[in-house]
Every structure is written in C-alpha cells, then in structure tokens.
Structure 1
Amino acid sequence: MASTPTTTMRLDPELKDKAMRVLEPLGLNMTGAVTIFLKAVIREQGLPIDMNVKPDKTDESN
C-alpha cells in the first residue's frame, strides 16, 4: 500500500476550534472534513459551494 503524504495547513486557531466543534458531533475530524471537501472539488470540477455575489437590495433599484 502506498503511504499517505502528510499535508500541513496554516489555520487561524479560532477558526479551527470553531470548525472542530461543528465537526466532532458529526463524527469527523479535520482530515475527514478536508477529504470530503477535496473529493467534492474533484466531482464538481470547482468549488462545491455557490460563489455568486448577490446584489444589495439598494443595488436592485438601479
């Protein structure tokens, strides 16, 4: 079996802490969550989230 490479990420400690509090009840750790995200990137051939900028209500009158 091929060895799994180690990847290092720099994260804001507060962001990581908040994310872990959401992930733990789901039975996920950071590695599992990142793996799910990267598989979704491959499946979608891009980011698996809506990145559209919606106009302000003030912009709709123009």
Structure 2
Amino acid sequence: MANTPTTTMRLDPELKDQAMKVLEPLGLNMTGAVTIFLKAVVRENGLPFDMKMGSEGKEE
C-alpha cells in the first residue's frame, strides 16, 4: 500500500461503541467505514446524504 498517513479523530466514546456494534457484523472497522464515507463525499462532491433541519421550530 502507498505511504498512508495516520489520521486521528476525536469521537464520543459512547458513539464510537454504538457505531462499532453496527459496523463489526458488516465486516467493517472504523477505518473502513470512514474510507467508504470519504469516497462517497468525493463521488458526490459533498455529503452523501441530505442535510435537513429537524421539525423543531417549524410552523404547521
């Protein structure tokens, strides 16, 4: 593999544990999941999902 730099992220420990419980059965570790996400960001030229405001504050 090419010269791959190490990247450090700060994550909430509970969020990390919850994510790992989802990722491990899929055969993914955090590195694989982040790589998939970043490739999708590049492919979509932005976030690979819609960003919307919650229903809070909206008038019906």
Does the pair score TM above 0.5?
yes
CA RMSD of aligned residues (A): 1.6
Residue 50 of structure 1 aligns to a residue in which SS? Answer: coil
Tell me, in whole angstroms, the C-alpha distance in 2 between the residues paired with 1:9 and 1:50: 23
Unaligned stretches of 5+ residues in structure 1: none
Question: How many residue pairs were aligned?
Answer: 59
Residue 48 of structure 2 aligns to a residue in which SS? Answer: coil
TM-score, normalised on structure 1?
A: 0.84
Unaligned stretches of 5+ residues in structure 2: none
TM-score, normalised on structure 2?
A: 0.86
Structure 1 moving runs of 4+ over 3 Å: none
CA separation of 1:14 and 1:55: change in aligned 2, threshold 3 A: closer
Are 1:24 and 2:28 an aligned pair? Answer: no
Tell me, in whole angstroms, the C-alpha distance in 1 between the residues paired with 2:55 and 2:22: 30
Partner of 2:52: 52
